[in-house]
Structure 1
Amino acid sequence: MDASLLTLLQLSDSAFPSGGFSHSLGLESAIQHSLVGTKGNLQDFIVASMENAGSFGLPFVHDAYNEGDNVSKVKDMDDLCEACLSNHIAKKASIRQGNSFIDSASRIFHDKQLETLSSSLNHRHFAVVFGVTYRILGFSLDNVMTSFMFSTLRTLTSSAVRLDRIGPIEAQQIQYSLQSSIPDIIARNLDMLSEDASISFPVPDTLQNAHGLLFSKLFFS
């Protein structure tokens, strides 16, 4: 049996304490602002959010993976991600989730390199620590980027269930339908560097920024 496959499945499991369970990536705000009221609206929002994860998150994942053995360069990427995230809600969510992910991984896998890296970074943004953690644990770049996009899609569909927009069967149908777009998103953003990271669809980003103004909320972002 392939031990690396089992570890990859463990990291991708929703039970892995990566912090994603606390975030809806702006979906809760979109629903409360009446911009996601139908299944079609929901799918459009998920697609736009996945595109943003591809154009903004993947360049940091890619670069952090490639520079995983150079703590100084990873630290610079973490600082760059801090500067590029103008959305204060997304910034807090990225730091919160990044801290949860790398702290959990270092404690679960007892990896000294992860512990050293965690203590060296100023912010621990999620996309950065995601890329370098998978590198340290020995996964291929293709597996890393696929897992990052899968986690984005899974977070959005599970959030939609918890927000009572769709049921669990519908969520899995949407996930099955949209995960086929992941290879294309990766291919279109494969050559982008962290300096090229950008938001492709501003509406989900703007809605997430308004999350802090909600009177009542289930998620942190």
Structure 2
Amino acid sequence: MATTVNSPFSADEKSNWLLYLLTDSALPTGGFVASSGLEASFQAGLIPTASTLPDFTLSAAHSFAFNTVPFVRAGYYTVDSEDPIASLEDADATCEALMIGNTVARRASLAQGVAMLTLHIKCFSPDDEVVKQWKKLIRSGKVDGHFAVCFGLVCRQLSVSIENTSHLWLYLFTRTLYSSAVRMNIIGPYEAQRMLLRAKEGIEDVVQKTMHLTMDDACQTNPLLDVCQGMHDRLYTRLFNS
């Protein structure tokens, strides 16, 4: 898959269809029931008006990227090691150590991680032994199976470039926030599309800033958002699981 320095998201006639599939909102990975912290943040007053939603989204995407992109990249490159499963275990254990303090985010990550592997096996590559073995370890409880690591692994097995993988990861996160905002009636569907389009420049800047991060660089840049997301289970009423 050809890539260029100026455009992190690239495709050709062979990869377009796959990229369309991976960005499809109907992709059964559990994202529809997750608000990525938006619901709890909204009830906590961090989004007082609809006009503040873009700023919140960019801040959330920045924090999400610095917290997860290193593990997407780690999962992506595990197949280059002599023992891919051992590398996956190391990346997953490190991700678990970072997420253990946020029960809600951890729960969503684990649910979407195994869903991503299931999607790959059932729809894209039923004979992928690395993914099948990794899923077996998750189901047996020997590893956790975090979404970021699984997403990177699946994209690598599908021959998606690392640039497109990072771009897809953050686009899907951003789209989830705006989609959740529509379902929560913070904004309407047309306004959501307008805001999502305008988010492009800021999100691509975040992609560039996090493109070369390693697991040692993983950090939280918006602790307040992390706290709010962790309080999701205590909300009196809630629409989403996380």
State TM-score, norm by structure 2: 0.87
1:29 matched to which residue of 2? 40
2:105 matched to which residue of 1? 90
Is 2:92 the partner of 1:75? no
User: Which of the pair is proportionally richer in helix?
Assistant: 1
- Bigger Rg, which one: 2
112, 118, 123: which one aligns with 2:128 = 112
After superposition, where does 1:194-213 map in structure 2 within 5 Å?
Answer: 194-213=215-234
After superposition, where does 1:55-204 map in structure 2 within 5 Å?
Answer: 55-69=66-80, 70-85=84-99, 86-109=101-124, 110-113=126-129, 114-121=131-138, 122-204=143-225
CA distance in 2, matches of 1:92, 1:132: 19
- For these two proteins, the number of residue pairs brought into alignment is 221
Structure 2: gaps of 5 or more residues: 1-11
The alpha carbon displacement at 1:30 in A equals 1.4
| Contact kept in structure 1, 2:62 and 2:206, CA below 8 Å | yes
CA distance in 2, matches of 1:111, 1:40: 48
| Contact kept in structure 2, 1:97 and 1:126, CA below 8 Å | yes
State TM-score, norm by structure 1: 0.95
| Contact kept in structure 2, 1:48 and 1:204, CA below 8 Å | no
- Name the stretch that deviates more: 45-54 or 66-75: 66-75
The alpha carbon displacement at 1:145 in A equals 0.4
| Contact kept in structure 1, 2:70 and 2:217, CA below 8 Å | yes
- Name the stretch that deviates more: 181-190 or 20-29: 181-190
Give the aligned CA root-mean-square deviation in angstroms. 1.4
The alpha carbon displacement at 1:111 in A equals 3.8
The alpha carbon displacement at 1:36 in A equals 1.4
- Aligned partner of 2:46: which letter? L
Is 2:23 the partner of 1:12? yes
Structure 1: gaps of 5 or more residues: none
- Aligned partner of 1:186: which letter? V
Identity %: 33
Deviation string, structure 1 residues 85-124 (Cα, Å, up to 9, x no partner): 1211111111111111211221111242322222234111
CA distance in 2, matches of 1:153, 1:68: 28
